[in-house]
Amino acid sequence: MPRENRKRGKKHKKFAAEETYLQEEGQVPEPEPEAGPSWITRAPERSAQEDREAPFGYVDAEVKAYFRTVDLQIREWQEEHEYTEEQGDSDPNEDRRLFFVAALDEMSDKEKQLATDPDCSGILERMTYSMDDFARRVFVDRLSGLYEQLLRHRFASHVCQTLITVAGDTISRECRGIMSSSPKSDGAGELRTLSQLVLDICEEITPLFSSLITDCFASHVIRALLSLLVPGLSSEQANSHKASNIRSKKSASFKAKQGPLKSVFSSAEPEATAGEILRPEEFPAAAKRFVNTVREKLDANEVRALAANQVASPVLQLLLEVEAGANMADEPGSLMDSVLAGLITTLHSDEDATAEASDYVVTLLRDPTSSHLLETLVSRSSERVFDIMWQTYFEGKLARLAVHPVANFVVAKALARLNVVQLNGVCQELNSVSAKILKAARIGIFRAMIERATALRQEESTVLETVYSAFELNGEDRTKLVPCVLRLLPLNEYANLQSREGNQDSDQAPHGHRSQKKLDDPLEPKTQGALLLQSLLSLPAPHNQVVVDSVLSHSIDELLVMSQHVTSSRVYDALLDFPTVPLKAKRQLVLKFMGHFHTLVDDRIGSRVGDRCWASADPYLKEKIARSLIVHEQDLAASFYGKFFARRLNLQLLRKDTEKWKSLQSTSKPTPAVAPPAQNPVHSNGSQPAADSRKSSKRKRAEQPEDEIDQLFSTALGTKIKKAELVSEAKALETPPAEDASDKKGKKKPRHDDGLDNVLGAIKDAPKSEGRPKKKKVAK
């Protein structure tokens, strides 16, 4: 009889034996619960997977729906490009503050659940940017004691990273003595400052720091925390290609898709752009404790293993930066010593010792992940350690390393620290393989050599000879330097391609709109070539004269084609802007375009080149340019891009009063392309005083015309009334924006001609009684 059909009776021996065996193994099944009412059920047990995904419980569906509406509203406010004041006497930020306070009240006591939720975690990140200092302190305090779990969580780790990132602004204000206070005192106790909360977080995770740096979710939070503790790390990383140490490329791409992340109350710039970074004195000491923790808990082999780990290597780079900044790197047993396989220990034991090449360090040179770490070592090591590294791992091996797809970046970083003797030796070693370097497109090697020669003010000619040998330029052929470098082609190959093209040379057509065929064209200018030419122009005179002579040797048609290409036009920008280029050379380039400025500025890219030519010209040359364009005034007015250049020249004033025009040009200063928006006074928590907003709104209403007809006449005829007078400097020197938003939407700005002026003048001279009657104000 099957077991499930057995009734009461004698127990089977077989089942008794099984029960005895389970009791011996400790696997006795739990007794079934006694029978009870049918509506009583046992609560479902949480699985291990559920504990990992939602360690603090799940968020209710209604709460999720509410925060989705909050997210949509904040997105709408953040996408507003400019802050516009609403008309009325009420504070325009009042509605936003009330809405945000309601969201913070709903978030109270649910921070842990919301941070671990897949949908609500992103909403919390967006809300964090609009929180005031007090709300941020409360948020960080509510998560205290749980940061180990939060940092290891897939979604909560990003919330912690955003909290640490935006905490810098609040900590800077606390260092200045600007302390946020609670809007209502409920006697719940004293709330710690955000600076103290960050220090408490450091103490909380210090015992687990060595394991957190290898966690795929906690690693990026550790990077943000180190950047907060030592602000110099973020600035140094921002000026190099290693900015991904703070946020990975995948994370940065995801953040870019989220739209603008900024406060909905304030348009003030963050501290990173404002240049006001203040930190408490305890923060560097906390970063040093992290370095000492890794030293104590990991041996040399384990530290070297971190370098090849894609997760831990960026953290190790930041730790090396902290160690070098605290003067702890040049010590036996340091992290740098461990990565360099005991090189520093060897030097401390014997200063005259010569280190043997380590297979581990040689592997770092060619590994895509570890090579970034070696760049940090090359940049942050002491002079003595760097000299030994250069002799051991680079000198005599540059012929292979310079053409390697990964090692060439490390070589370029090492070239920035060479002395005169070492730089001369590099030029002699690379002369024989310069053609291979060009063929492999490792242009960063040439740029690093030029920049180092510029900094040392020596060996410029030797470096230039290496560049000439790479492009096969000798003697009179150096006039072809610019076209060859732009295409990254040696002279013979460039000449063969030109002859093969024949009458269908790619340079005969403007490059403003590039197609896929143009991108595959070998004669298409390359970005790396333009950067190399800019580096050559940064050399002091007369070493940069060869680039100037090559540019001026082109015909006017070739110069116009270069000026209308988004890549090659950068060469003109450097030639006209760099202080190392003589003024005589800049004047020669401007005179080269004389008589063709109407063609130059009738292009999206060429108009920018024309603006730079105008800005670099002296008053006499400006008058010469302006008079050459009087005959083309109508063409410029009809041009989509040329009209902005014509507005800058103010040709009408030049024809009527030359002396006023000259005085205006002699006293004028270049204005930015886009005027910065006026910033309203904002409190630290993002709010604006209601009285100031009411005054500004009343002032704007007082300055507005009383009706639509007067507003139309003021905009259409305001410039014509003062036609013979000296217009304001800002309006005369108005710079065209990058893209005309009104024209882009199909709304073209009106152009005045003589017929329209006559009609509008007749309407203006008509009696006021014929116009629209104004509304009379009724006394209250």
Tens-digit pLDDT profile for residues 446-504: 999 999 999 999 999 999 999 999 999 887 888 999 999 999 999 999 988 888 876 45
Tell me the domain boundaries of the chain.
51-79+92-181+190-264+276-297, 619-674+724-737
Model confidence band, residue 774 (pLDDT cutoffs 50, 70, 90):
very low
Instruction: Give the type of residue at 183.
Output: P
Instruction: Give CA–CA dist 563/607, Å, rounded.
Output: 9
Residue with more model confidence, 24 or 232:
232
Encoded amino acid at 119, one letter: D
CA–CA distance, 467 with 470 (Å, rounded to integer): 5
Q: What is the largest CA-CA distance in the chain?
A: 124
Q: What mean pLDDT do residues 114-132 have?
A: 91
Contact call for residues 205 and 212 (beta carbons, < 8 A): yes
Mean pLDDT of 11-39: 51
Q: Greater confidence, 750 or 525?
A: 525
Q: Does pLDDT of 386 surpass 70?
A: yes
Tell whether the model's pLDDT for residue 444 goes beyond 50.
yes
Cα–Cα nearest to 449, from 437, 462, 463, 439: 463
Gap between the Cα atoms of 641 and 761, Å rounded: 29
pLDDT tens, 292-327? 999 999 999 999 999 989 999 999 999 999 999 999
State residue 593's pLDDT score: 93
CA 115 to chain centre: 27
Residues 6+ positions from 510 with CB-CB distance below 8 Å? 561, 564, 565, 603
Categorize the per-residue pLDDT at 26 as very low, low, confident or very high, splitting at 50, 70 and 90: low
For residue 37, is the peptide bond before it cis, meaning its omega torsion is within 30 degrees of 0?
no
Q: In the prediction, which pLDDT does 761 show?
A: 45
597 CB neighbour count, 10 Å cutoff: 24
The position carrying tokens 């242009």 is: 443
Name the token pair of 428.
């002699």
Considering only CA atoms, give the Rg of the chain.
35
Alpha carbon distance 446, 430 (integer Å)? 10
DSSP secondary structure, 535-600, as one string: HHHTSPTTTTHHHHHHHHTS-HHHHHHHHTSTTTHHHHHHHHH-TTS-HHHHHHHHHHTTT-HHHH
Please check whether residue 397 is in contact with residue 357, taking contact to mean a CB–CB distance below 8 angstroms.
no
> What's the rounded Cα separation, in Å, for the pair 573 and 570?
5
**Tokens at 282, concatenated:** 């305890």
181-191 burial string, b = 16+ CB within 10 Å, else e?
Answer: eeeeeeeeeeb
Class of residue 276 by CB neighbours under 10 A (exposed 0-12, middle 13-18, buried 19+): middle
- Does the pLDDT of residue 557 top 70, yes or no? yes
517 CB contacts (<8 Å, ≥6 apart)?
none
- Dihedral of the alpha carbons of 575, 578, 579, 580, in degrees to the nearest 10: -70
Query: CA 296 to CA 125: how far, in whole Å?
Result: 35
* 8 A C-beta contact, residue 598 and residue 629: yes
658-691 pLDDT, tens digit each: 888 888 887 765 543 333 333 333 333 333 444 4
Question: What is the percent of the chain with per-residue pLDDT over 70, rounded to a whole number?
Answer: 70
Q: Does residue 765 surpass a pLDDT of 70?
A: no
Angle, vertex CA 367, rays to CA 364 and CA 369, nearest 5: 100
Residues 6+ apart with CB under 8 A from 404: 365, 366
Q: Give just the sign of the alpha carbon dihedral 320, 322, 327, 328.
A: negative
Q: Which of 234-243, 252-261, 639-648, 750-759 has the highest mean pLDDT?
A: 639-648
Average pLDDT over residues 565-575: 94
Confidence bin at 549 (pLDDT 50/70/90):
very high
How far is it, in rounded angstroms, from Cα 147 to Cα 728? 59
What's the whole-number average pLDDT of the chain? 78
Residue 268, both tokens: 């003030």
| pLDDT for position 655 | 86
As to burial, measured by CB atoms within 10 angstroms (0-12 exposed, 13-18 middle, 19+ buried), residue 129 is buried
Give pLDDT tens digits for 241-255: 444 456 667 777 777
- Measured CA to CA in angstroms, residue 565 lies from 35, 281, 326, 501, 604 at distances of 85, 51, 47, 19, 9
Q: Which of 129, 326, 163, 307 is nearest to 232 (CA)?
A: 326
Please, what is the Cα angle at 774 between 768 and 780, to 5 degrees?
Answer: 145
The total number of residues shown for the chain amounts to: 780
**Non-local CB neighbours of 655 within 8 Å, separated by 6+ positions:** 630
Q: Identify which has the larger pLDDT, 15 or 628.
A: 628
Which whole number is the average pLDDT over 50-74?
Answer: 87
Q: Is residue 237 scored above 90 in pLDDT? A: no
Tell me the pLDDT tens digit for each residue of 152-207: 999 999 999 999 999 998 999 999 888 877 666 555 668 899 999 999 999 999 99
pLDDT band at 348 (very low <50, low <70, confident <90, very high): confident
Centroid of chain to Cα 284: 25
Residue 163: count other Cβ atoms within 10 Å of its Cβ: 25
Structure confidence by residue, pLDDT tens digits, 88-109: 444 557 888 898 889 999 999 9
DSSP at 509? S
**Residue 145 pLDDT more than 60?**
yes
